Chain A
């Protein structure tokens, strides 16, 4: 099927590339179907989450390991209910800011995906984690 995207024009995707949000992206409860657009030639750590329902709605996601190394949050009990059994992947929502160096990611509320069931949800973690964590951090800063 053809998919109109915000950042990459019209592209061809398979129905199986579409992920359904069983738990909403908070504030975007009316949007359920998204496609992951991998840009492996650009970076394996970044992925574009394009709404199937609205070409103008797109999020940029970052792999947690690229930002904080180990990221194994305790998921809330509703995770399995929403996503089904399987191995989950966590992605962080990035907010690009001006200048780009001030961009942040949300460690507190990751997008959790079950590739086996093609389901995803944004989950609010109990762990004390920042909602705004620098996307790009200098290596010499130990807290990054």
Chain B
């Protein structure tokens, strides 16, 4: 992993088109400003992981899995 030190107001550029700027630092939180082309999707990681998990939750429940779950619960 590349680790860089930045101060408030400074930025990093990724691939020329994506800019991530440190806009505010307070305690253990920092605010980031992200400028990216419209086709680049930006997610907080936990939101992205929740979307993946929700998709798994919707797909994983095959009839067999549900039957097995019902059996286990009874």
User: Hey, which bits of chain A sit against chain B, CB under 8 A?
Assistant: 6-7, 25-28, 39, 42-43, 46, 57-60, 93-98, 100, 103-104, 106, 108-109, 122, 124, 131-132, 136
Contacts and interface: CB of A to CB of B under 8 A. Distances in A.
Contact of A109 (B50, B60, B68, B70): B50
Size range of the chain B interface in the assembly: 20 to 34
B58 interface: yes
Contacts of B61: 6-7, 58-60, 96
A26 B49 CA distance: 10
19 contacts: A6-B61, A7-B61, A7-B66, A26-B47, A26-B50, A27-B51, A27-B54, A42-B70, A42-B74, A46-B69, A46-B73, A59-B57, A60-B61, A96-B61, A96-B66, A100-B65, A124-B46, A131-B46, A131-B50
Contacts of B69: 46, 60, 96, 100, 103
A3 to B, nearest CB: 17
Contact of B60 (A7, A25, A96, A106): A96
A120 B65 CA distance: 26
Interface of B: 44, 46-47, 49-58, 60-63, 65-66, 68-70, 72-74
A95 to B, nearest CB: 4
B73 to A, nearest CB: 4
B50 A106 contact: yes
A93 B69 CA distance: 14
B66 A26 contact: no
B68 A100 contact: yes
A28 B58 contact: yes
B58 A131 contact: no
A26 B51 contact: yes
Contact of B49 (A94, A97, A131): A131
The 6 closest A-B pairs by CB, nearest first: A27-B51, A43-B73, A96-B65, A109-B50, A95-B57, A95-B56
